[in-house]
Amino acid sequence: MLVLAATPIGRVGDAPPRLAHELATADVVAAEDTRRLRRLTSDLGIEVGGRVVSYFEGNEQARTPALLEALLAGDRVVLVTDAGMPSVSDPGYRLVAAAVEHDLRVTAVPGPSAVLTALAVSGLPVDRFCFEGFLPRKAGERARRLDRLRDEERTMVFFEAPHRTAALLSAMADALGDDRPGAVCRELTKTYEEVRRGGLRELAAWAADGVRGEVTVVVAGAEAAPEVGDDPESLAAAVADAEEDGMTRKEAIAAVAKRAGVPKRVVYDVVHVR
């Protein structure tokens, strides 16, 4: 059996009760950082009885076959990362996929999650959300990703390194709007926990002075676009409104076609015939 075990994102007291038992009784513990694992087990007052191996981004692909062999041999393999749930922007997906492919059981020890914690304290809508993880580091690639998220109506959750947080927020303001509501959640559950809320441009200005610690960014989704009728007059008016809001003609035609549920060619013909 493969056990994905969530670990505290800050306070060791948040560790789920099952975590200590799983670590102490596992045949194999695969850890993102074996030094952090030793600190965690010391804090929990336990010792790992099985074999400990490192399993991080740099060796994940190479080490997965050996861990799969252990699973196939009947071992109970427990996977832990530095914080939170394995495979969520952390190592683990390859091993889970391999285990599933071989019809092996995969279970989890539920526990702390920076994604859900940040979402809950952000003050933004939580009924529908999506997790985008880390955006590309290169400015152009990041801008293209954000452009695709401009009309996303669900609340969005992102991870970012502290030294890149200001650049991320500035790029978000450029793509999504200066006043789009957001929240920067820093050092969640730790001593210096801070949640900074405001418009994206305001948050970017705040972050320009430097941000420390683990960072999770939550951004409000776009307001739902009004429905568009499929008659020529409604389509043409919707395209004109979109262009006034800064879209190119091509972008406006595509957006209106999607909202109206008609082919782009229909909207194109309406606009250009008129």
Domain ranges, ordered by start, for the chain: 2-112, 115-219, 232-273
**In the structure, what pLDDT confidence band is assigned to residue 260 with cuts at 50, 70 and 90?**
confident
Question: Could you tell me how many residues make up the chain?
Answer: 274
- Say whether pLDDT at 263 is over 90: yes
Q: Per residue in 32-83, pLDDT tens?
A: 999 999 999 999 999 999 999 999 999 999 999 999 999 999 999 999 999 9
Distance CA 125, CA 263 (A): 32
Q: Please state whether beta strands 28-31 and 77-80 pair in parallel, antiparallel, or not at all (unpaired).
A: parallel
Residue range 115-219, CATH number: 3.30.950.10
Distance CA 19, CA 9 (A): 14
Closest to 160 (Cα-Cα) out of 207, 128, 220, 221: 207
Distance CA 91, CA 105 (A): 18
Question: What pLDDT score does 103 carry?
Answer: 97
Distance CA 76, CA 109 (A): 13
**Are 177 and 202 in contact, with CB atoms under 8 Å apart?**
no
Question: Which phi-psi region, left, alpha or beta, contains residue 187 (left: φ > 0; alpha: ψ -120 to 50)?
Answer: left
Question: What pLDDT score does 259 carry?
Answer: 85
Question: What pLDDT score does 15 carry?
Answer: 94
What is the pLDDT of the chain when averaged over all its residues?
A: 94
Half-sphere exposure in the Cβ direction for 25 (13 Å, CA): 9
Give me the torsion for CA of 153, 159, 161, 167, rounded to 10°: -10
**In the structure, what pLDDT confidence band is assigned to residue 272 with cuts at 50, 70 and 90?**
confident
Q: Per residue in 166-208, pLDDT tens?
A: 999 999 999 999 999 999 999 999 999 999 999 999 999 999 9
- Per DSSP, helices labelled H in 50-164 are 60-72, 93-101, 114-121, 139-148
Average the pLDDT over 153-160 and give the result. 97
Question: What pLDDT score does 126 carry?
Answer: 95
The tokens describing 215, both together, are 């960072």
Distance CA 92, CA 108 (A): 12
Give the architecture-level CATH label for domain 2-112. Answer: 3-Layer(aba) Sandwich (3.40)
CB-based contacts of 185, cutoff 8 Å, min separation 6: 114, 117, 118, 121, 122, 194, 195, 215, 216, 217, 218
Phi and psi at residue 4, to the nearest 5°: -90, 115
Distance CA 144, CA 141 (A): 5
Question: What pLDDT score does 274 carry?
Answer: 58
**In the structure, what pLDDT confidence band is assigned to residue 258 with cuts at 50, 70 and 90?**
confident
What's this model's pTM, rounded to 2 decimal places? 0.82
Question: Which phi-psi region, left, alpha or beta, contains residue 79 (left: φ > 0; alpha: ψ -120 to 50)?
Answer: beta
Question: What pLDDT score does 219 carry?
Answer: 98
Please tell me if the domain spanning 2-112 has the same topology as the one spanning 115-219: no
**In the structure, what pLDDT confidence band is assigned to residue 245 with cuts at 50, 70 and 90?**
confident
Distance CA 86, CA 76 (A): 16
- Say whether pLDDT at 270 is over 70: yes
